[in-house]
Amino acid sequence: MKRYIISRLLQAIALVIGVLFIVFIMLHLTGDPASLMVSRNASPEDIEKIRHEFGFDKPIIVQFANFLKGAFIGDFGMSLRYRQPAMKLIIERLPATIQLATAALLFSLIIGIPIGLLGGSNPNTGLDLVARTTGLIGQTIPSFWLALMLIVVFAVKLRWFPTFGRETVKLLGINFPTKSIVLPAFALSLFTTGQLARFTRSSVLEIKNEDYIRTAYSKGLPRRIIYVRHILKNAAIPIISIVGVQFSYLLSGSIYIETIFSWPGLGQLLAEAVFTRDFGLVQATAFFTSVVVVVLHLLTDIAYGLADPRIKYR
């Protein structure tokens, strides 16, 4: 077990460094941000001076080594645009991002799984049609298009929700989001809801007709117990992997939803950083998101092990 943990840890570190390196190379191959940091009336000498001051004229390997050196002691560099430590800017955005991601995940679990269950256990009925349609629409509808429609209908016309932004109230010491989170979380959850509805449905269908289920029925076990014990367990594996993958995407922020709803999350921060060539911020965000992916991957694997004892660790 110890060996396993150590090997996973080493793999994780290698992954993070690998991601950082690739991102670094990609950023620097697109040119340097010096020209974006000066006014339009700057002279080429001004730009050259900035380039030199921030070390953009040094060879890439040197720049990367310097960055890694800093990263080891927790200094991920400054955001070129905000002139603030990059990590600080990311951490500031975390609560908003985590809350939105969690809310979206909750919505998709609450809506997707039951619909999938109902559809799968009543194939070829109206319920099944609803399940399949939900699955399909969720996965094909462009979320930003829907987001704008949601704002027009629910925020402007019906006034049920605020038009934009994140409002919070202090509950138990933390900034808990108000109903301002509902529209963005719903729009964000659509894709995952679709996937969950479909996979739950097909998991149910897969084992519905298996022998051991029929045996359980004939034994007289109540349907609900059969569902929980057997069907959900079978569905657990694909559900867990969907949740794992989707949650890591969600935690990296969604640029579309955040831009439309002006939700102050990581997606917007990263997008802004990329488009303004704010290298320090992009690097720090890349580090953060790769750590999130690694951690979630690990958690997903653990969850697999819990759900299906047949899986062995090599």
Residues 193-252 binding another protein (CB under 8 A) are: 202, 206, 224-225, 228, 232, 252
Find the shortest distance in angstroms from Cβ 30 to another protein.
4
144 near another protein (CB under 8 A): yes
41 near another protein (CB under 8 A): yes
How far is the C-alpha of 68 from the C-alpha of 43, rounded, in Å?
32
Find the shortest distance in angstroms from Cβ 52 to another protein.
9
71 near another protein (CB under 8 A): no
Question: Among 265, 280, 284, 300, which residue sits at the site for another protein (rule: CB under 8 A)?
Answer: 265
151 near another protein (CB under 8 A): yes
132 near another protein (CB under 8 A): yes
125 near another protein (CB under 8 A): no
53 near another protein (CB under 8 A): yes
How far is the C-alpha of 262 from the C-alpha of 272, rounded, in Å?
13
Looking only at the bridges linking them, the beta strands covering 174-177 and 168-171 are antiparallel
Beta-bridge mates of residue 288: none
How far is the C-alpha of 286 from the C-alpha of 19, rounded, in Å?
7
Question: Among 13, 65, 68, 106, which residue sits at the site for another protein (rule: CB under 8 A)?
Answer: 106
Burial class (CB in 10 A: 0-12, 13-18, 19+), 247: buried
Question: Among 101, 251, 282, 284, which residue sits at the site for another protein (rule: CB under 8 A)?
Answer: 282
182 near another protein (CB under 8 A): yes
305 near another protein (CB under 8 A): no
Find the shortest distance in angstroms from Cβ 148 to another protein.
5
- 66 vs 140, which CB is nearer to another protein? 140
How far is the C-alpha of 286 from the C-alpha of 280, rounded, in Å?
10
**Tokens read off for 176:** 């808990």
- 96 vs 115, which CB is nearer to another protein? 96
Question: Among 1, 2, 3, 44, which residue sits at the site for another protein (rule: CB under 8 A)?
Answer: 44
307 near another protein (CB under 8 A): no
Find the shortest distance in angstroms from Cβ 121 to another protein.
15
Find the shortest distance in angstroms from Cβ 306 to another protein.
14
- 35 vs 122, which CB is nearer to another protein? 35
91 near another protein (CB under 8 A): no
Question: Among 196, 255, 284, 300, which residue sits at the site for another protein (rule: CB under 8 A)?
Answer: 255
37 near another protein (CB under 8 A): yes
How far is the C-alpha of 54 from the C-alpha of 33, rounded, in Å?
10
